[in-house]
Structure formats: structure tokens, C-alpha cells
């Protein structure tokens, strides 16, 4: 319930902000790669039974930031009904985030290929890095999956982290069939 309330607040504030901006025909690389930075207070219903923010909550905060980014990009392009589906997520937990901590979630487009979009998210408390997440997802419209080209992401733009992450995923898939 808590994440739904945060989601609706985020959408309301974003729509209000986007009404003040005008839509343009194409997205610049600066707009695509601009970080999404949002702050949250860790509330009682965010807590796990072990007195810290549980693993699944990190992923929910990542989803809020990616949704914010996608809504802003779609508004800029004048696109309606573009969604996304997670293909893979990974978190590296460095320190526990405790009750009532104010955490800053910083998500940024890391790259894309012909099919997927990749996001890196960093979690901070008092400017100290608490965790890093990578998310790989596909864009979807009413017809199903669509290429990142719909948001002017042409060609491929990956880096060493994305490439090694994809190689690891291929290795996991082949190990399951062996």
C-alpha cells in the first residue's frame, strides 16, 4: 500500500511538472541520460522483520524511478501507453538502510541495445553509498515489445558492466539446460 501511495504522489507531481514543459519531437542524449534523483524516508511499513529495509523494497524504489524516467521521456516525445517489463535485476547490498533513514535513490540510464534498456541505481544515506542495482527491461506498447528506438535510442550503447552482466546471464541459462 505504501508503494502505491508513493507511486500516485510521484505521478501527480510529475504530471504537474510536465504540464509546464512543452513536448518536442526528439529526445536528446542529455535528456535520456539525466539522472532521476528522489528521496524517501524509510517508514514502518517499509521495514522487514530483521530491522532494516528488505531486499524486495530496494527493487520497488528502483521501479518508481524508472517509471518516473519513462513518463518524462514519453511526455517529451508525445508518446502515450508506453510501458516496461523487467527482464533482469541485480542488487549489490553494501550496508543496511535502517528505520527512518532518509535515503536518496539515484537512477540513470546506463545503456541500451537492440532489445533492452539498462538502468543503474544507487542508494545513498547521508551521502554514503548503501547499495547499487542494475535493471534490464524491455519497452512495451499495446502491440507488445518494442525497440528502444521508439525513444530515439538508436543502435547499441553498452559498456563493460552491461556486456559482462549479459554474458553472465547467458552462462546461467546454458547451465540450466546442461
The CA-CA-CA angle for residues 113, 117, 118, to 5°, reads 105
Digit-by-digit pLDDT tens for the chain (178 residues) are 566 676 667 666 666 665 655 545 466 778 889 999 999 998 887 777 777 788 888 998 999 999 999 988 888 888 888 999 999 999 999 999 998 999 999 999 999 999 999 999 999 999 999 999 999 999 999 888 889 999 999 999 999 999 999 998 889 888 866 5
Supply 10's cell numbers.
Answer: 510521484
Which domains are seen in the chain, by residue range? Answer: 2-177 (3.10.129.10)
In this structure, the chain runs to a length of 178
- Among 43, 81, 82, smallest CA distance to 61 is for 43
- Report how far residue 85's alpha carbon sits from residue 132's, in angstroms, rounded to the nearest whole number: 20
**3-state SS assignment for residue 58:** helix
State the pairing for strand pair 144-146/128-141.
Answer: antiparallel
Amino acid at each position: 500500500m505504501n508503494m502505491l501511495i508513493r507511486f500516485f504522489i510521484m505521478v501527480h507531481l510529475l504530471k504537474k511538472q510536465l504540464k509546464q514543459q512543452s513536448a518536442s519531437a526528439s529526445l536528446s542524449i542529455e535528456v535520456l541520460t539525466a539522472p532521476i534523483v528522489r528521496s524517501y524516508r524509510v517508514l514502518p511499513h517499509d521495514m522487514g522483520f530483521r530491522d532494516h529495509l528488505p531486499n524486495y523494497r530496494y527493487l520497488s524504489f528502483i521501479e518508481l524511478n524508472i517509471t518516473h524516467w519513462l513518463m518524462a521521456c514519453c511526455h517529451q516525445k508525445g508518446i502515450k501507453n508506453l510501458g516496461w517489463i523487467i527482464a533482469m535485476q541485480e542488487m549489490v547490498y553494501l550496508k543496511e538502510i535502517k528505520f527512518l533513514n532518509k535515503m536518496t535513490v539515484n537512477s540513470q540510464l546506463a545503456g541500451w541495445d537492440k532489445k533492452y534498456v539498462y538502468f543503474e541505481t544507487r542508494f545513498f544515506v547521508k551521502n554514503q553509498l548503501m547499495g547499487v542495482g542494475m535493471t534490464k527491461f524491455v519497452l512495451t506498447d499495446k502491440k507488445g515489445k518494442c525497440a528502444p528506438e521508439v525513444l530515439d535510442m538508436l543502435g547499441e550503447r553498452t559498456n563493460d558492466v552491461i556486456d559482462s552482466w549479459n554474458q553472465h546471464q547467458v552462462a546461467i541459462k546454458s547451465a540450466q539446460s546442461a
